[in-house]
Amino acid sequence: MFGFGFGEFTPNQCRTAATLSCAVWDVRTGTQIRSFDGHGNSVWAVQFSPDGSLLAAATLGGPLRFWDMNINVTEPRHGERLPMFIALSPLGTIFTTLYNDRTIQFRKEASDTLVWTQPIADLPVCFATMSPDDRFLVLHGLFDPDILIIDVQSGQLHSRSSHSGQPLIQFISFHCDSKQVVLGDNNFHVELWDLDSVTRVWVAKVQDHDSPVCVSFSPQSDLVAWMGHGKFGLLDAFSGEEVIFQALPTDVQHPIWLYGRCLTWSTDETRLLTTSGGPPRLRIWDVASARSTKQVYPLFECDTSLAITRCSFFDGHRSILTDQGLIPIPPEHRPPCAADDLAPTSSERLFRLRDDGWIWWVGINMERRVFWLPSTYRSETPFLNANIVTSQDSVRLRTDAFSYVVVDMKKWIENNISYV
């Protein structure tokens, strides 16, 4: 054991805590596996819980702190490359990390084994989006006209293209066959690109206010929904022509970054979810007859106490899953594809990090707090597939100080499943 003062072995006698820095060492290998900071004074005593999952640390004249051993934090060292962006593929099989030295790393999610590491010249380290079939990774940066398409299997550059002007591209949505992407920028434009030929198919100017344009292909990829500053609309995906233009209610006149990036279709293309701010609000729109009537209709809305940055239909379209919890949809406002009330409820349970720092385990008729993460272990503005990734086995975060945090959810479930 290293350090001064008192040390404590875990019940399995494999780990010990060095009290000077409250670091945890594996006595079998002699390597440090955890480091817990923020005590403000020297740590004089430590004690593991009987199952080894918690570490209690007492300071001289200070508070007693409890540290969760299922949380692993990797602090960046001087001169080390820093993680800028983390993402999980849509199929949940590949985990991607973009670093500040313009390097991309791919790992298999299930085994955490390295697939490849590839330096990319002139890599725009900012945003990344992966295709629905895990085939392509599209990279785009701040005020960079280049868009890079990476072949996920080989790690090689598939193609490079330049969009019109040099605006900020923040939102990308893939066609269902992964052969086309639609881009939304902060220069009023929506563009459709073909990835095989690396050509722009069409470009549409959709608004007259300088704010990012969120975009989303419909499930059948025949429509493109967009949302900007106090407005949203639908475009024909083949021609780029306007289908409808809708001014949002007055409470939505806020920059898009204030109310997230939520623009979600039902699988039958009859409903569209949008989020807004001031106050935070979620809406369901009827878009079934948009082409024929040139109108969309609000069906359902609810106020939320906190802003919603992501949402999706859940439990056979009978509920909406948000980062703040589940919201049931009244039967009269559900899409026609929604499951009948007599059908079994979904058994799926997902992890979500909320603004107060708590990770929740969420499912139908079940919402349970799991971990609380101090502010130093998370970003001030968490975004899914940007600085936070959730899976069935773990929650991974990139903090504002570029630390890399991994929360082992699999171990927590194994220890607590009998109580759920």
**Could you say which DSSP state residue 91 is in?**
T
Could you identify the residue written with the tokens 């540290």? 67
Name which of 33, 37, 30 is nearest 52 in CA terms: 33
Give the number of C-alpha atoms closer than 13 A to the C-alpha of residue 162, restricted to the C-beta side: 6
Backbone angles phi, psi at 316, to 5 degrees: 65, 35
Residue 307 and residue 389: Cα distance in Å, rounded? 19
Contacts of the segment 41-47: beta carbons below 8 A, 24+ positions apart: 42/5, 43/5, 43/19, 44/5, 44/6, 44/19, 45/5, 45/6, 45/19, 46/6, 46/7, 46/8, 46/17, 46/19, 46/22, 47/8
Show the tokens assigned to 372.
């609380």
Phi, psi angle pair for 92, to nearest 5°: 75, 20
Q: What is the per-residue pLDDT for 333?
A: 94
> Is residue 154 within 8 Å of residue 172, measured between CB atoms?
no
| Burial class (CB within 10 angstroms; exposed 0-12, middle 13-18, buried 19+) of 418 | exposed
Closest C-alpha among 273, 263, 276 to residue 317: 273
Tokens representing 305 are 């106490």
Name the 3-class secondary structure at 157.
strand
Buried b (16+ CB within 10 A) or exposed e, 289-310: ebeeeeebeebbeeebeebbbb
- Give the whole-angstrom CA distance, residue 409 versus residue 380: 22
Tokens standing for residue 283: 């809406």
Quick one: which of 168, 195, 161 has its CA closest to 181?
Answer: 195
Q: How far is CA 246 from CA 121, 205, 232, 242, in A?
A: 41, 15, 5, 11
The residue assigned the tokens 């084994």 is: 113
**Cβ burial 101-116 (10 Å sphere, 16+ → b, else e):** ebebbbbebeeeeebe
Q: Residue 165 contacts by C-beta under 8 Å, 6 or more apart in sequence?
A: 145, 185, 187, 189
| Nearest Cα residue to 237 out of 207, 215, 213 | 215
| Low-confidence stretches of the chain (pLDDT beneath 50) | 1-6, 10, 12-13, 15-18, 252-260, 418-420
Closest CA to 240 of 187, 191, 170: 191
Residue extents of the structural domains in the chain: 15-69
Q: pTM, whole model, 2 decimals?
A: 0.78
**Could you give phi then psi for residue 175, rounded to 5 degrees?**
-65, 155
Supply the pLDDT for residue 165: 54
For position 111, what pLDDT does the model report?
79
Residue type, 189: H
Query: For the chain, how are helix, strand and coil distributed in percent, rounded to 5?
Result: 5, 45, 50
